[in-house]
Amino acid sequence: MKRLQISEILAKLSEFKSPEERIQWLRQNDSPTLQMILKHAFDPNIKYNLPDGDVPFKNNNNVIGMTESNLFSEHRRLSYLWLVPQDASKDHVANSKSFAEQLQDARVRVQNAEQQVQHAQVALQQAQAAFAASVQEFEHIRERSTNSKTNVLNLEQRFIQMLESLHADEAKVVVACKNKTLNKLYDINKKLVKDAFPSLL
């Protein structure tokens, strides 16, 4: 029997009259990939490190299941590659400001220590070390911010390439997950997902 693709499983939901039938259908077609897609679509804590809105990709209109790739084979990359890390919620601007403040604080401590150098030689050395460390960290943050812009562009290109390797319907599922609009594409909502898979969300 032909294995249904994720978009086919979701499209089938509109044929059922009751939530109970839809829940049963989701459970019958359960897989790690299906659960990942549903979690990405309805978990507000999961965000893609990509621009909001539509994605400019070319539709792959080959027969579904016969394209270069599918969501089952892209499961691993989708599970981490384009997601914002959970511990990376602070933006570079905030970080840069924080380190700028540390840099100014270290500079003031150096100046104060220099005025009392004969009585606080150790404090001066510690302040100078802190100042040097702050400068180095500030430069690191600035460099990381620049590299981040390049990395985002590379991620966008890889994301588009991945979408174009999928059937057009499968690609639309991924874009809807990114934009949190899967409920507009298929007859599904957060409550249905939670009822079908209580531990998922």
User: How far, in Å, are 29, 36, 104, 155 from residue 77 at the CA level?
Assistant: 21, 11, 42, 11
Q: Which of 201, 180, 199, 184 is nearest to 47 (CA)?
A: 180
Any domain includes 172: yes
Any domain includes 201: no
Any domain includes 10: yes
Which of 1-5, 51-55, 175-179 has the highest mean predicted lDDT (pLDDT)? 175-179
Amino acid found at 135: V
- Total tally of structural domains belonging to the chain: 1
Say how far apart CA 20 and CA 24 lie, in whole Å. 6
Any domain includes 1: no
pLDDT for 49 equals 87
Is the pLDDT reported for residue 110 higher than 80? no
pLDDT for 111 equals 73
Q: What are phi and psi of 160, to 5 degrees?
A: -65, -45
Any domain includes 160: yes
Q: What's the domain range around 98? A: 6-196
